[in-house]
Amino acid sequence: MSMVWTRCKGDAEVGTITHPGDGTVITWSACQTAYSVAPGYGWLTIPGVEMVRPVANPVTHRYGVTDCQASPGPYFDYSQSYRAAGIGGMIGDDPCAPYDAVEPTTWGAIKALVK
């Protein structure tokens, strides 16, 4: 599977999304105040039935965005859930299924008790 990624928003990007495991970071010089921003889109080339799912940043091991609105911030906003999409006839994850909190602060508190 491969993809052609096109950045639509933002002032700069590092990396691109072409093959599974690739990633990109998109930045803005001014804080974005909209509820959500779609920074780009991709066209997939698939050989058959596939499943597409987001993966964590390989450097930070996190999913989410940095929030420039928070004061005294910036703070990292963690995604609440991650759902896979089915392509070519495969059934993807239920987007309405309940999710578990994924913020690392909970795990950090548990690890602190063990030390």
Q: Would you say residue 106 has pLDDT above 60?
A: no
Query: How much is the pLDDT for 58?
Result: 76
Query: How much is the pLDDT for 100?
Result: 60
Let me know whether 66 and 18 are in one domain: no
Domain end marker among 45, 62, 79: 45
Domain span holding position 98: 48-115
Q: Encode pLDDT of 62-93 as tens digits.
A: 877 777 766 676 777 777 778 888 988 899 99
Let me know whether 4 and 19 are in one domain: yes
In Å, how far are 9, 20, 92, 97 from 81, measured between CA atoms?
24, 19, 14, 9
pLDDT band at 47 (very low <50, low <70, confident <90, very high): confident
Q: Which two tokens stand for residue 4?
A: 């052609």
Query: How much is the pLDDT for 103?
Result: 54
Q: Encode pLDDT of 1-28 as tens digits.
A: 788 889 988 899 988 888 888 888 888 8
Are 75 and 66 contacting, i.e. CB atoms less than 8 angstroms apart?
Answer: yes
Let me know whether 81 and 114 are in one domain: yes
Let me know whether 94 and 59 are in one domain: yes
Let me know whether 18 and 72 are in one domain: no
pLDDT band at 48 (very low <50, low <70, confident <90, very high): confident
Let me know whether 30 and 57 are in one domain: no
If one counts the domains in the chain, the total is 2
Query: How much is the pLDDT for 23?
Result: 82
Let me know whether 62 and 33 are in one domain: no
Let me know whether 52 and 77 are in one domain: yes
Let me know whether 26 and 73 are in one domain: no
Q: How many residues does the chain have?
A: 115
Let me know whether 13 and 55 are in one domain: no
Q: What is the mean pLDDT of residues 88-105?
A: 75
